[in-house]
Amino acid sequence: MTDWEVVIGLEIHAQLATKSKIFSGSATAYGAPPNTQASLVDLAYPGVLPVLNAEAVRMAVKFGLSIGAEVARRSVFARKNYFYPDLPKGYQISQYELPVVKKGKLSVMLDDGAVKIVGVTRAHLEEDAGKSLHEGLAHASGIDLNRAGTPLLEIVSEPDMRSAKEAVAYMKKVHTLVRYLEICDGNMQEGSFRCDANVSVRPRGRDKFGTRAEIKNLNSFRFVEKAINYEVARQIELLESGGTVVQETRLYDSDKDETRSMRSKEEANDYRYFPDPDLLPVQIDESLVDEVRATLPELPDEKAARFARDLGLSTYDAGVLSASRELGAYFEEAAALVGGKTGHGAAHAKLAANWVMGELSSALNRDNVEITASRVTAAQLSGLLARIVDQTISGKIAKEVFEAMWSEGKSADAIIQAKGLKQITDSGAIEGVIDAVIAANPKQLADYRSGKDKLFGFFVGQVMKATEGKANPAQLNELLKRKLGGGAQDA
Amino acid sequence: MFLARIERLNPPLNALITLTAEHALQAAAAADRRRAAGEQGPLLGIPLIHKDIFCTDGVRTSCGSRMLDNFVAPYDATVVTRLKAAGAVMLGKANMDEFAMGSSNETSFYGPVKNPWDTSKVPGGSSGGSAAAAAARLAAFTTGTDTGGSIRQPAALTGVTGVKPTYGRVSRYGMIAFASSLDQAGVFARSAADAAIVLQAMAGFDPRDSTSIDAPVPDYSATLGEPLKGLKIGLLREFFDGLEARNTALIHDALKIYRSLGAETVEVSLPHLPLSVPTYYVVAPAECSSNLSRFDGVRFGYRCENPADLLDLYKRSRGEGFGAEVKRRIMTGTYVLSAGYFDAYYLKAQKVRRLITDDFRAAFERVDLLIGPTTPTPAFDIGAKIDDPVTMYLNDIYTIGANLAGLPGLSLPCGFVEGLPMGLQLIGPHFSEAKLLNAAHLFQQATDWHSRSPRGYE
């Protein structure tokens, strides 16, 4: 049996968040009625000419700087020629030989916490095509050119990924980055962030790459993983049964979870790239690069490093909490406020991290709410955490309080007050309850004392039940142990 | 007055594709009102004809092709807007070679244009209709475009003054593209002085054309008449190789006049210039093959009947909509851009283009202007070259260099051979239009070739 190595490279298309298109003044808003955001330039009327949107260039530069890439001082737009109804000019304006962004790299954290460096070959600017609509039209196809001319940054990776999971981790990292940079809204359902995956396999140890297939237009992380896994299995099966992989473009069918051939290399277009004579070469001078550099935010890796260094988070937690600017900001605010309220500084950052990654994230996911619209604000969460720290409530009760905060939108204190959830820390009061429980369960007491240690939990449960869970667990344990063992004392 | 003249004189010439009489009357009335309101301006109320390559809002813009026979432009080209703003009155749209591809105006879907000097002869092309209309005085001036000589060559063959400005001087927005890196709009007029006025209105930066140049436009009329004393004129040696003696004699007569005006003449050589025709016929088709892809029968223009499927729609719409010369160039261009041929043709041509540009630059370090014939021969018979593309292409041998280098060029009448006008060509460095116009103007002050009219069109 051959040991196969998987080789994956991704071409990610990130739609740039400019207000207008890359070569015309039309708006780029998603979801407008068909062809209402298509000007004569987008419709490729005779005589019209493209004019480059400088904002798109700035965004590309920003991306380049964030991956430590060299920004090309001179970059050229080229025409990629092919006929398709949703491509009005009969060519796409893209970049070929001289892209805006040259080689760079990204560090990607894998599931096991290991960090992998993935090379970025280049990133170039291009315009998106329109959409062909075949549904709901009898004997006809519709064309919506609203999307035609929308700016895209195509980010091409080196073939550095060795599994579907690595590919997804890399794609997520790029997704994080473009949102940090505020150059792409990252909305995958609307197609603002999508990728093509180049997949091949080779016997482990061999230098030469196997023949690759390109899977087009994957618009969710899940599909990327499933499509690659399907494709890897298909190629291995093909090779092991004596077949050969042909170079081709394939489409992933998410309903059937399979990839299907779209066109072979022989059927591929000869795109006849050549420099677009309607557009001058783009000159990017040092001052523009410096200007853009000054607008760079704290990048995800920098933020994660700071969380680990200054707040003592684990690498994993720091990575999760820096995955989006908004999540990081929420966490930082909550952690700082807990620190302020309890006087413990960064000491309770770990508590805040656990809660943001735990209860808060599950509530957000469950109700499909963005962190920026969270029903429990960072300030409110910090109020809850402060009550855990000062032992007003137990961690367990806190979960109940959190749920109430989430649904009622009130502060932790208000809910603790209203529901009487304050933890019982008065030893006398706890002892009273313990005595009552012991008195009510003489048989269990006798059994426990005769060696059935497991019954300790029974007594804990009974006391908690009697106090509605409010007894301080540590105190309860200690007192209960003493009381249950008390028989010896009496004797 | 001009409308009546067009109705009377145009039918045998076929210089116009579309007459916009109603438009013209309204525009003329508007110009009268502006004048009555005290506005002045050299073009206010002046009639013009636009080459049918410029988009005109609400008016058919055919580009001489069946492909756009049904195309009514929804906007005005910048050139049209500017001349409208100056008060010029459009009378109609001029015939032209299909998509500006031709040197005889015989490739037009609307039939050939006849030369007013002899209706058995071509007027040149591709702006043949504009040239013939200017020569026959169907308007005070006409617009044209010059990709490889399409203004200067027909100007020479019809005895009018034609100016192709520096690439980027006049906006290409709204001008249907043939070869984007070579196309430039210009003017046909009866004299350099008239052309100066028109160019003044046309020239200037346009934010909608990324290749238009943001440099101030000098007052072209203000410098007319400045003495030529000390002007160094370079005689292009390569332009006289193989030129007929009669034609050479006309150019030498012109040089005598320039010397008498105080200019100095020296011979210069541009060693790579003989490569300009093959270079052009790689670059221009390459660009046109891509530029004309938008004519696919989907959104506008000609669409074949009952297409069986998408491929059939493309093939038949384009196959039926385009004429033979356009198809020839699309195929040539597609070929030279293809994988495996790109380096040998397109890249090579770009390198030669650079060498030709460098030759011109070196020449302009020694001289102020270059001079030579505009065409190798006077107007030829209709039908004589249409079946022999290469012979036809060689007609532009003297004009293509300026396009490849982006330089301004001007053709002005300098005499007759067998009753047909010949043109003298002036080429200057980038943005030397004022100098070219002045040199042409002073020549026209000293001669009367430009004021002669073809019989019947006085």
Residue of A nearest to B337 (CA): A272
Domain annotation covers residue B172: yes
Angle at B356 (CA atoms; ends B352, B358), nearest 5 degrees: 115
Domains in chain B, number: 1
What's residue A345's pLDDT?
A: 63
* CATH assignment, A427-490: 1.10.10.410
- State the smallest CA–CA distance between residue A21 and chain B in angstroms: 14
Q: Active site includes B51?
A: yes
ipTM exceeding 0.90, yes/no: yes
Instruction: Considering only the beta carbons, identify the residue of B175, B299, B342 that sits closest to A43.
Output: B299
Residue B14 zone, left/alpha/beta (φ > 0; ψ -120 to 50; rest):
left
Q: What is the mean pLDDT of chain A?
A: 91
- State the smallest CA–CA distance between residue A383 and chain B in angstroms: 57
Which residue segment(s) compose the domain that B83 sits in? 2-271+357-451
Phi, psi angle pair for B427, to nearest 5° = -125, 135
What's residue A346's pLDDT?
A: 66
The residues near B86 (Cβ < 8 Å, ≥ 6 apart) are B41, B42, B43, B44, B201
Domain annotation covers residue B247: yes
Instruction: Compute CA distances B1 → B8, B12, B31, B137, B140, whole Å.
Output: 11, 19, 15, 11, 11
The residues near A83 (Cβ < 8 Å, ≥ 6 apart) are A90, B293, B296, B314
Q: Active site includes B180?
A: no
Domain annotation covers residue B38: yes
> Is B71's CB within 8 Å of A46's CB?
yes
Phi, psi angle pair for B454, to nearest 5° = -65, 145
B61: chain A residues, CB-CB within 8 Å: 46-47
Is pLDDT at B357 greater than 60 in this prediction? Answer: yes
More confident residue, A469 or A250: A250
> Is B174's CB within 8 Å of A47's CB?
yes
- State the smallest CA–CA distance between residue A44 and chain B in angstroms: 7
**Which value, to the nearest 10 degrees, does the dihedral of the CA atoms of residues A371, A377, A378, A384 take?**
-130
B11 bridge partner residues: none
Instruction: Considering only the beta carbons, identify the residue of A85, A272, A277 that sits closest to B338.
Output: A272
Q: Which residue has the tokens 């060559």?
A: B153
Do you know the residue count of chain B?
Answer: 458
Residue of B nearest to A46 (CA): B176
Could you please report the per-residue DSSP string of B342-392? TIIIIIHHHHHHHHHHHHHHHHHHH-SEEEEES-SSSPPBTTSSTT-HHHH
A275 bridge partner residues: A78
**Inter-residue contact A235 to A213 (CB < 8 Å):** yes
Domain annotation covers residue B299: no
Residue of A nearest to B76 (CA): A47
B208: chain A residues, CB-CB within 8 Å: 49, 51
> Is B290's CB within 8 Å of A52's CB?
no
A92 bridge partner residues: A80
Is pLDDT at B85 greater than 50 in this prediction? Answer: yes
More confident residue, A445 or B352: B352
**Inter-residue contact A296 to A65 (CB < 8 Å):** yes
pTM score: 0.90
* Residue-wise burial string across A121-141, b where 16 or more C-beta atoms lie within 10 A, e elsewhere: bbbbbbbbbbbeeeeeeeeee
Q: In this structure, how many other beta carbons lie within 10 angstroms of the beta carbon of residue B319?
A: 11
The residues near A344 (Cβ < 8 Å, ≥ 6 apart) are A338, A389
The predicted-structure confidence for A93-114, as pLDDT tens digits, reads as follows 999 999 999 999 999 988 887 8
CA distance A268 to B347: 23
Domain annotation covers residue B279: no
- Residue A159, token pair as written in the block: 């073939």
- Count CA atoms closer than 13 A to A168's CA, side-chain side: 16
CATH of residue B410:
3.90.1300.10
> Is A272's CB within 8 Å of B342's CB?
yes
What's residue B243's pLDDT?
A: 86
User: How buried is A283 (Cβ within 10 angstroms: 0-12 exposed, 13-18 middle, 19+ buried)?
Assistant: exposed
Looking at residue B197, the DSSP 8-state letter turns out to be H
| For residues A77-81, average pLDDT | 98
Q: How many helices (H) and strands (E) does chain B have?
A: 14, 11
What's residue A5's pLDDT?
A: 97
What's residue A433's pLDDT?
A: 86
Q: Considering only A192-206, A333-347, B359-373, B415-429, which range has the smallest mean pLDDT?
A: A333-347
Q: Which residue has the tokens 């962030």?
A: A193
> Is A270's CB within 8 Å of B74's CB?
no
What's residue A486's pLDDT?
A: 64
**Inter-residue contact A467 to A434 (CB < 8 Å):** no
Q: Where in chain A is the domain with CATH 1.10.10.410?
A: 427-490
3-state SS string over chain A?
CCCEEEEEEEEEEEECCCCECCCCCCECCCCCCCCCCCCCCCCCCCCCCCCCCHHHHHHHHHHHHHCCCCECCEECEEEEECCCCCCCCCEEEEECCCCCECCEEEEEECCCCCEEEEEEEEEEEEECCCEEECCCCCCCCEEECCCCCCEEEEEEECCCECCHHHHHHHHHHHHHHHHHCCCCCCCCCCCCEEEEEEEEEEECCCCCCCCCEEEEEECCHHHHHHHHHHHHHHHHHHHHCCCCCCCEEEEEECCCCEEEEEEECCCCCCCCCEECCCCCCEECCHHHHHHHHCCCCCCHHHHHHHHHHHHCCCHHHHHHHCCCHHHHHHHHHHHHHHHHHHCCHHHHHHHHHHHHHHHHHHHHHHHCCCHHHCCCCHHHHHHHHHHHHCCCCCHHHHHHHHHHHHHHCCCHHHHHHHHCCCCECCHHHHHHHHHHHHHHCHHHHHHHHCCCCCHHHHHHHHHHHHCCCCECHHHHHHHHHHHHCHHHHHC
- Residue B300, token pair as written in the block: 């506008």
Phi, psi angle pair for A222, to nearest 5° = -65, -45
| For residues B138-166, average pLDDT | 98
Name the band, by pLDDT with cuts 50, 70 and 90, for residue A490: very low
The predicted-structure confidence for A128-180, as pLDDT tens digits, reads as follows 999 988 776 667 788 999 999 999 999 999 999 999 999 999 999 999 999 99
Is pLDDT at A487 greater than 60 in this prediction? Answer: no
Do you know the residue count of chain A?
Answer: 491
Residue type at A297 in one-letter notation = P
The residues near B256 (Cβ < 8 Å, ≥ 6 apart) are none
**Inter-residue contact B383 to B251 (CB < 8 Å):** no
Roughly what angle, to the nearest 10 degrees, separates helices A164-180 and A221-240? 150
Percent of chain A with pLDDT over 90: 68
> Is A88's CB within 8 Å of B177's CB?
no
| For residues A461-484, average pLDDT | 84
By a Cβ cutoff of 8 Å, what residues of chain A touch chain B? 40, 43-52, 79, 81, 83, 85, 88-91, 143, 270, 272-274, 277-280
From B65, B108, B130, B150, active-site residue: B150
- Residue A316, token pair as written in the block: 């994993």
- Report the Cα A61 to chain-centroid distance in Å: 23
DSSP H or E run through B48: strand B47-51
- State the smallest CA–CA distance between residue A57 and chain B in angstroms: 15
Q: Considering only CA atoms, which of A8, A12, A9, A7 is closest in space to residue A219?
A: A12
> Is B211's CB within 8 Å of A89's CB?
no
Instruction: Considering only the beta carbons, identify the residue of A40, A83, A278 that sits closest to B314.
Output: A83
B171 SS3 class: coil
The residues near A254 (Cβ < 8 Å, ≥ 6 apart) are A223, A226
Q: Active site includes B150?
A: yes
- State the smallest CA–CA distance between residue B291 and chain A in angstroms: 8
R_g (Cα) of chain B, nearest Å: 21
Is pLDDT at B417 greater than 70 in this prediction? Answer: yes
Instruction: Considering only the beta carbons, identify the residue of A43, A83, A278 that sits closest to B180.
Output: A278
Residue type at A27 in one-letter notation = A
Q: Considering only CA atoms, which of B116, B186, B160 is closest in space to residue B412?
A: B160
From B62, B126, B191, B317, active-site residue: B126
CA distance B315 to B309: 10
Phi, psi angle pair for A76, to nearest 5° = -125, 135
Instruction: Compute CA distances A21 → A16, A39, A117, A263, B125, whole Å.
Output: 9, 10, 33, 30, 38
- State the smallest CA–CA distance between residue B83 and chain A in angstroms: 17
Instruction: Considering only the beta carbons, identify the residue of B55, B296, B314 that sits closest to A47.
Output: B55
| For residues B407-421, average pLDDT | 97
What's residue B167's pLDDT?
A: 98
- Residue B85, token pair as written in the block: 């703003």
**Inter-residue contact A64 to A104 (CB < 8 Å):** yes
B235 bridge partner residues: B267, B371
| For residues B352-381, average pLDDT | 97
Residue type at A277 in one-letter notation = P
The residues near A201 (Cβ < 8 Å, ≥ 6 apart) are A4, A5, A6, A7, A210, A232, A235, A236, A239, A245
Name the band, by pLDDT with cuts 50, 70 and 90, for residue B335: very high
Instruction: Compute CA distances A317 → A139, A434, B7, whole Å.
Output: 55, 40, 85
Domain annotation covers residue B28: yes
The predicted-structure confidence for A25-38, as pLDDT tens digits, reads as follows 999 988 889 899 99
